Amino acid sequence: MRNSGNEPRKRPLKPGGLRMRAYQLLLALVLLALWQVATSPTLLPPIFFDDPNKAAFFFGEPLKAAVRIWVWFTTGEIYRHLWVTLIETLLAFVIGTVSGLVVGIWLGLAPTASAVFDPYIKAANAMPRVILAPIFFLWFGLGIASKVALGVTLVFFIVFFNVYQGVREVSPVVLANARMLGASPRQLLRFVYLPSAMSWVFASLHNSVGLAFVGAVVGEYLGSSEGVGYLIQQAEGVFDINTVVAGIVVLTAFALALDGIVSLAERRLMVWQPKSGETERL
């Protein structure tokens, strides 16, 4: 039914508003409470398992996982592992982003080279990167370098394809006007191609930092002696599900913090870009 005009319209909740945050927090608390009740051997009779303790064994208990996180941070045990994971993520992110930017601009401006390398780039992109982990372990050992290499292979392609597309989709009118004004190839690269490519780079930064993080953690899980992924792998080896859950929670919070930093950098560096809807009002 349409609003007759006399009834006040309900305002939609803002994504970052206080009421929306309250609803999100309430939902999280409800889910945690249900999880705790479902896995506690004394609060519910056996439903899915004949032994009530099996639910806690398979799914863990949120209170025990929270205690484990508290012990990690109060004793300082987690900081060394978080630092290693952070270094691996940042190195993979920076190297993958820069290399994807350079190669994307080069092939975007060189049609012949793009045609020659096209099948090889598509084949490399189609390859599951996880299978490269044993090769990187053989080449670089079990230290940070192998995790960075795995993360770079994940970040490179998403940045490359975005930059390549951004360079190829530069407005012909803008290029023609710049050339008519006497812009040199270097000026075209600096004032036309790079701004277009950077718009696409920032559009992919959230996925890029997430993939760099995934590469670091997966590499630690497959073979390492430090890092949060290593802690999870060790706990899984002794069937300590609560420590596994604690590690997953820490990694999730860590990934959200990195994504927030990327969002802040994007707002600061892309201040010149018009916001959604502004161009339609002009």
**Would you list the domain boundaries of the chain?**
18-59, 70-272
Query: Does residue 36 carry a pLDDT above 80?
Result: no
Q: Side chain identity at 238, as an amino acid letter?
A: V
- Mean of the pLDDT values across residues 60-85? 86
Q: What is the pTM of this model?
A: 0.74
Residue with tokens 């999730």: 252
CATH fold for the domain made of 70-272: MetI-like fold (1.10.3720)
Average pLDDT across the chain, whole number? 78
Work out the pLDDT band at 277, boundaries 50, 70, 90.
very low
Rounded CA gap, 107 and 160, in Å? 9
Share of the chain above pLDDT 70, in %: 76
3-state secondary structure of 225: coil
Q: Given this model, what pLDDT does residue 121 score? A: 86
Sign of CA dihedral 84, 86, 91, 93: positive
The contacts of residue 265 (CB under 8 Å, 6+ apart) are 205
Structure confidence by residue, pLDDT tens digits, 177-215: 677 766 777 777 777 777 777 777 777 777 788 888 888
Q: Looking at residue 91, what is its pLDDT?
A: 92
Pseudo-torsion of CA 167, 168, 171, 174, nearest 10°? Answer: 50
Q: State the sign of the Cα–Cα–Cα–Cα dihedral 269, 271, 276, 280.
A: negative
